Structure 1
Amino acid sequence: MTGFTQEQLGWEPWLAPLAEDELTDVHHEALIDKGRAASPYFRLLARDPEILHARTLTDNDIFYNADGGLPRAERELAATATSRHNGCVFCASVHARFASHYSKHPGDVQRLLDEGVAAPQAGRWRAVIDASVALAATPEQLGPEHVANLRANGLDELAILDTIHAAAFFNWANRLMLSLGEPTEKATK
Structure 2
Amino acid sequence: MSDSTATGEQVVRHDFDVPNVFTQAQLGWEAWLEPLPIDELTERHYDGLVDKGRANSPYFRLLVRDPDILGARTRTDNDIFYNEKGGLPRAQRELSAAAASRTNGCLFCASVHSRFASQKSKRPDDVQRLLDAGTSAPQSDPQWRATIDASVALTKTPGEFGAEHVRQLREAGLDDLAIADVIHGAAFFNWANRLMLSLGEPTPPATPAG
With structure 1 as the length reference, what TM-score do the two structures score?
0.97
Distance 1:114 1:22 in 2: 41
- Residue 104 of structure 2 aligns with which residue? 86
Cα pair 1:90 1:183 within 8 Å, conserved: yes
Match of 1:55 among 43, 53, 73: 73
Q: State the percentage of identical aligned residues.
A: 71
Per the alignment, residue 181 of structure 1 pairs with: 200
Q: Deviations over 1:15-61 (max 9, x none)?
A: 11001111111111111111110000000000000000000000000
- For residue 182 of structure 1, give the secondary structure of its aligned residue in structure 2: strand
Whether the 8 Å CA contact 2:27–2:203 is kept in 1: the answer is yes
Contact 2:117 2:127 in 1 (8 A): yes
On the 8 A contact 2:25/2:205 being kept in 1, the answer is no
Deviation at 1:12, TM superposition (A): 1.0
Other structure's SS at 2:35 match: coil
1:186: how far off? 4.0
1:36 aligns with 2:54: yes
Task: Write out per-residue CA displacement over residues 56-100 of structure 1, whole angstroms, 9 at most, x where no aligned residue.
Answer: 000000000011000000000000000000000000000001000
Q: Which 4+ stretches in 1 moved above 4 angstroms?
A: none
Structure 1: give runs of 5+ residues left out of the alignment.
none
Q: Could you tell me whether the CA contact under 8 Å between 1:117 and 1:129 is conserved in 2?
A: yes
Name the TM-score, length of structure 2 as normaliser: 0.88
Aligned length: 187
The letter of the residue matching 1:126 is R
Report what 1:158 is aligned to: 177
Tell me: higher relative CO, structure 1 or 2? Use CA pairs within 8 A at least 6 residues apart.
1
Unmatched segments (≥5 aa) in structure 2:
1-18
> Which structure features the higher share of helix residues?
1
Q: Secondary structure at the match of 1:17?
A: coil
Residue identity matched to 2:25: E
Over the aligned positions, Cα root-mean-square deviation in angstroms equals 0.8
